[in-house]
Structure 1
């Protein structure tokens, strides 16, 4: 059984992710957005949208396509439930599929504060955020 838990999944700050996005090649970093209908109004540039409801179906595809990616960052709106849960399922399935040693070659993170905190600082930055609609986020 896997030793990975929600508590042991590392968190990544929005500033660290911003720096990685600015300096990494796409093959080294993947951002997985597991928001559902709350995906409307913007997303982190280059992120892959995998609504929570489709994660089980898309997990084998993600494992294949992200096999050699160095860092994978999951997030939802606040990264309190859906993001950490998806990251945990992905990390455990990766370990189960490829073995514990291979599983550890990839770093899996949860974005601290999710898209809500991301958009507070980087929402208007078109280099980092796509399709941003400020009015949708104004209430946050």
Structure 2
């Protein structure tokens, strides 16, 4: 049985991965924000709310098996993002199918820091609502 260690990922590293040519098809970004999943999201991210994350974990695990890199985040990546990443890693270990070549990360600063730097860059952020973020921050 292999162990998936959850690591921290800097937003600039994720930016570089997203802008790499050709763009990696082995990268999955999982956004676990709940009702706060508004005002934009990282290009290509998949929304799996933390409120239903546990019950959807078997499906998500199967969905993510082909990816060599999985990045989790929430608004700040202080609770929901790290919790989801750890839950994913523990589940993979529990069922004995942790991919040996898969890396699991939590995006430092979450979407809040991401949008501050990359919100207006359409190559990196989709459906960005600058007015909403100005109200929230």
Answer yes or no: is the 8 Å Cα contact 2:6–2:103 preserved in 1: no
Helix, strand or coil: the match of 2:95?
helix
Establish whether residue 15 from structure 1 lines up as the match of residue 12 from structure 2: yes
- Aligned partner of 1:117 among 92, 113, 116: 113
Deviations 1:56-112 (A, max 9, x none): 12211111111120100000000000000000000111122234xx44421000000
Equivalent-residue separation in structure 2 for 1:43 and 1:3 (angstroms): 29
Equivalent-residue separation in structure 2 for 1:67 and 1:104 (angstroms): 10
Answer yes or no: is the 8 Å Cα contact 2:3–2:93 preserved in 1: no
Q: How far apart are 1:9 and its partner, in Å?
A: 2.5
Counterpart mapping for 1:1-140 below 5 A: 9-23=6-20, 24-26=23-25, 28-99=26-97, 102-138=98-134, 139-140=136-137
- Unmatched tracts of structure 1, length 5 or more: none
TM-score by length of 1: 0.88
4+ residue stretches of structure 1 with deviation over 4 A?
none
Deviations 1:98-134 (A, max 9, x none): 34xx444210000000000000110000011000001
Equivalent-residue separation in structure 1 for 2:6 and 2:24 (angstroms): 23
- Number of matched residues? 134
Deviations 1:26-51 (A, max 9, x none): 2x100000000111110001000001
Equivalent-residue separation in structure 2 for 1:74 and 1:50 (angstroms): 10
Answer yes or no: is the 8 Å Cα contact 2:30–2:47 preserved in 1: yes
